[in-house]
Structures are given as structure tokens and as C-alpha cells.
Chains A and B, each alone.
Chain A
Amino acid sequence: MFEGRELMVFYENMIALNNVTLKCDHSQIVGVFGSNSAGKSTLMYMLSGIILDIKKKEDMRGGERISTFGRIFFNGTDITNLKPHQRAKVGIILCPERRRIFPESDVLENLKIGAYLSTKKERKENIEYVLNLFPRLKDHLKRQGGFLSGGEQQMLAIGRALMANPQVLLLDEPLLGLSPAYQDIVIKGAKEIRDTKGIRIIITEQYARPVMPIIDYGYILENGSSVLSGTREELLDNPDVKSAYFGV
């Protein structure tokens, strides 16, 4: 069980995340939906621990004060105070928004950097797994990351996250700027990762339509608070969700 309990984040005096509780069980895909400024990215930073890093940098620069509250549990242990790299070791891997691949390394090198935490044998298996998952990457193994198309970069980013043997995979807006065809490939990929490896996946998205079919449980965020949550069926039946996300 991966669980964030009563998470709260303040950027200076502005509340970005208000009392959000989120759970993700083994081999579940959890979707988090919300518009811009709903707090999706903050939630991801909070879960992956990047917020601690941002906080420290802001502090050193004399910028905004970031205050965080709430606790995060993973398999019963409290990981709230673990730094981002320690959380990655535990198995919580973030695939960041806007991909953030290493633009000057080629595809294979990007994957190898992601595999820093795994053994040589695992690395080999994982590279194979990723290339089977996203066959398009096979054609560009030696191309620099920065010269890939947006969709390929997204696949590479997910692949890189997979190289670290995640137990919880956090996908922050994986469909950002992707064409419907690529959205389909990424979403199918996410489902396959869950089905074959049993990895818990938490996806944040603005568009519920492409993601909704694969999730087991979903949360709707609005202005930092979780206004609605439920299984896929419950969400699909909800009239508010229907009108807001499906235009019905």
C-alpha cells in the first residue's frame, strides 16, 4: 500500500494542496484529474519528495517559503522525511512533467542513467523490456534525446523511470502535448506495465477521457483539494464528472 495522508502544501501563504489523502494498492492504476492550478504537479512533487529539494533551494535563495504537512506511507513504513533519492531507492520513481529527459545523451544512455540503482543484469532485462514496450525507441537508440519528437521523448521518459525498478510509478501529465495516436501508445504502455510487472501507477492528467479506461480508482482535484474520489465506474456515473470531463 502506498498512501499519502492529509497532504498539505503552502507556497508562501498560498495553499496549493489542501488535505489530500490518496491511496494506491498493489497493481492498481490511480488517476488524478484536475485543471491547471488544481495541485496535480504539487501532489507529484510531494509524493516523490522533489518538494523537499525545491523547498531547500527556495530557502537558500531567500525566495518563497514552502511548508508541507501530512505523512506518506509505503508498505507500512513512514517515508515522509526521506529525500528524493532515498525514495527512489525504496521504489518510488517520478516521471516528471514535460519529460525532462537528458537532451544531450542518446536514448540508450538516457536509459542507462535511469538504471543507476539496478544491477547490470537487471539493466539488460529492463532495457529489453522498455524497448519491447515502446518499439519506436528501437529505431533511434543512438539519437540524442533532444532531437526526439515529443511523443518519443515521453516514451523515453517513462522508459527511463522503469529502468530503476519502480514499485510505484508516478506519471506527471504523460499526455502533455501528445497527439491522440501517441496518447494511445503511452496509455497502452502504462496498462501493460501494470499488467506485466504489477507496478502501482499514479497518473495525473487534465484530460480524463484517454486515461479513464485504464484506471482502477480516481481522484478529482480542484483548487488543491480532492473534491471527489471513487472507482472508475463511480466516477463515470457522476454527473459532474460527465459534464466537466466528457462534455455530456
Chain B
Amino acid sequence: MEMMRRERIDRGIKVRTEGIYAISSIREVLYLLGPRLILIVGMISLPFILELAPYWKRVVNIMCVYSLIALSFDFLANYVGLVCLGGAFFVGIGGYIAAIFNVYLSFPIYVSIPLATICGAIFCTLMLLPCLPLRGVYFAIVTLMYPLFFTRVIEALNILGGTNGITGLSSFPNQYVEEYTIIIVTLLFLFGMRRFVTQDIGLVLRGVKDNDQAVRASGISIAYMKSLAVFIASVMGCFAGAYIAHLYMWSGISLFALDFSIIPIASVVIGGGGTLVGAIIGSVILVPLSEILRAFGTFRIVIYCIILTLVIVFKSEGLMIYLQRKYHQFERWVKV
């Protein structure tokens, strides 16, 4: 009986571009740069393409905000092994700190956003510190509970504007600054993180994910490594929060809403976990999709759920992993 096997092999060009031959011809250079350029140029030209649709420009901003949160989730979940169910925690803290700096202490916007990012990240890391040495479900639960905790605290004590939130944050000087701040920061974080996870420290973090005891035995403090990772992730989340507070010129308890925790996770699932780019691609698909589905009213959640379920059932590996494989490898039938 003739037996055939479907074989997957790397494309010649992929193998060539891994070495010095990467710069040998324009084709190889394009092969390497093409996908990156499409993403970068695509993102940067979005505000121009959507010049006549101001509403959709707002959607692009929100999309980038979700991309950042998704990026931080993907990094924590697939490179450090911490499942963070609380993107909203980072966003809320970042947003409120930016509001405090901007409204109460009247710092200008270009100070309040960076400062809120750093201070917020330090605050988030400190809040999460107790559950970092542990492995297991603790981190997920704590991150899920903190947004609820802060919502109720703000409501009950009527501090920081109470249920009305803090209003009167200064807006961005003009629309282009508003657009490009978030687009460029998202791209910087994306490529920065891609670089970071292949550095020594990124390797150690992946080790923590695989086997924390072995990492401990190598003389590395798990708690320190994990808090570093949480700090980096919360920098991304807090920046998103500070940005969104300034975008809406308002910081309220809806910054702690569950949306900021759930949609990024869904984006990572659709985009493909562990690729980092997948987080961005997932948000680029999901956020506009949910805007389009707004026409269906509350029914949009149903459609949203159906799409998510279909992806998980039929392409559970995620879009990006699938695309990468198609790009780098080809298949053929061979005789066994």
C-alpha cells in the first residue's frame, strides 16, 4: 500500500535570510522587512486613510489602546506564565493617576502622561507584589479583584470625584498628536517587547514560566524577575489608561470596567498567543468589529461570542501562528 505523508519544510528564502545572506538581494531583504513594513506603514497611514471619517479615527485610538493592553497580557501570559485577568486594573490606575497629576496638581499633559505611566506601574507592581512568589491561580484572582475593589472604594468613600469621576483633564493639542502618540507608542512597545523577550532576561522569564524551581536552583530570584515583568506589563497598561483618560478628558470608574480585561484576552486568543504581534492583529480585528456590530444593539455580544467560539473551535492556534507558518514554510506530499 502506498503511504503518503504531508511534509512541512522551511522555505529556502527563510533559511537564507536567517544568516548573512539576508542582505544579499532585494528579495531577501523584502522577505524579512515586508511583513514588518506592512504593519508599520499600515498603522502610520491609518489616520490619513480615515481623514474623512473622524468617528473611525477615534476607533483607531481605542484599537491601539486595546492593542497595548493585549500586548501586556500576551507578554505576561506566554512569556512569564502569569495569567493577568485585570487589564482594567492597569488602565484604571494609569487613568486616575494621570487625572490627579493633570487636574489636581495641574501638570501639563506631556508631563502627566509619562509620569502617570511610571508612577502607575510602580503602584501596580507594589499592589501585586504579595502574590508574585506564588505559582498558580493567585495572580489571576488578585488581578481580577483589584478593579472591583477600587471601583467600590471610590464609590463608597466618594473620593476622586466619586461616581462622576474626575473631569476637566486637558486634551491633546491637536488631532495628529492624539493619533500618533498612541500609534507610535504601540509600535515602539511591540518591537521593543519582541526584542526584549529574546534578551537574556527574556529567556530567564520564559524559564520562570516553564519551571520556576529550576530557575530558583540557578540562583535567580523568582519574585524579582516576576515583579520586573509585571512592571513592564503595567507600564503598557498604565500608559493606555493615562492616554485614554486624556483622550476622553475624563477619568471615571468605567476605566476599571471589565471590558479592558476581557477584550484584550480575546484579541490574544484570536491573534495567536505568544507571538506579541498577534495581540495587535487581534485588536485590529476585534475592536472595529465590535464597532460595526454596534448597529445590532445588545445583540452584538451574541455575534461577538459566536465569532470567538468559531475561532477557538476551528483555528485555535490563532491567526498569527497560522500566517507565520504559511509565510515561512511550505507543504508537499512525500512517500513514506
Q: Assess A62 versus B8: contact at CB under 8 Å? Given A8-B336, A69-B3.
A: no
A60 touches B6 (CB 8 A): no
Tell me the complex Cα distance, A61–B9, Å: 18
B322 touches A67 (CB 8 A): no
Interface size class of A (residues with CB under 8 A): 10 to 19
| Shortest Cβ distance from A68 into B: residue | B5
**Closest approach, in angstroms, between the C-beta of A8 and any C-beta of chain B?**
6
Q: Is the C-beta of A12 less than 8 angstroms from some C-beta in chain B?
A: yes
> Per DSSP, are chain A's interface residues mostly helix, strand or loop, or mixed?
mixed
> Per DSSP, are chain B's interface residues mostly helix, strand or loop, or mixed?
mixed
Tell me the number of A-to-B contacts counted with CB atoms below 8 Å.
25
Q: Is the C-beta of B272 less than 8 angstroms from some C-beta in chain A?
A: yes
Q: Is the C-beta of A182 less than 8 angstroms from some C-beta in chain B?
A: no
| Shortest Cβ distance from B7 into A: residue | A13
Q: Can you list, as one digit per residue, whether each of A60-75 has a CB less than 8 Å from chain B (1) or not (0)?
A: 1111010101000000
A13 touches B322 (CB 8 A): no
Tell me the complex Cα distance, A183–B6, Å: 42
Tell me the complex Cα distance, A12–B325, Å: 13
A12 touches B8 (CB 8 A): yes
B316 touches A69 (CB 8 A): no
A62 touches B3 (CB 8 A): no
A65 touches B317 (CB 8 A): no
Q: Is the C-beta of B318 less than 8 angstroms from some C-beta in chain A?
A: yes
Q: Is the C-beta of B321 less than 8 angstroms from some C-beta in chain A?
A: yes
Contact residue among A61, A63, A67 (Cβ-Cβ distance under 8 Å from B6): A67
Tell me the complex Cα distance, A8–B1, Å: 14
Q: Can you list, as one digit per residue, whether each of B286-327 has a CB less than 8 Å from chain A (1) or not (0)?
A: 000000000000000000000000000000111001100100
**Closest approach, in angstroms, between the C-beta of A136 and any C-beta of chain B?**
28
| Shortest Cβ distance from A19 into B: residue | B336
By a CB distance below 8 angstroms, the chain B residues around A69 are: 3, 5, 336
Contact residue among B6, B272, B318, B322 (Cβ-Cβ distance under 8 Å from A65): B6
| Shortest Cβ distance from A12 into B: residue | B8
By a CB distance below 8 angstroms, the chain B residues around A67 are: 5-6
**A-B contacts besides A62-B317, A69-B336, 11 pairs, CB < 8 Å:** A8-B3, A8-B336, A10-B5, A12-B8, A13-B7, A60-B316, A60-B317, A62-B272, A62-B318, A62-B322, A65-B6
Q: Which residues of A contact B (CB under 8 A)?
A: 8, 10, 12-13, 60-63, 65, 67, 69
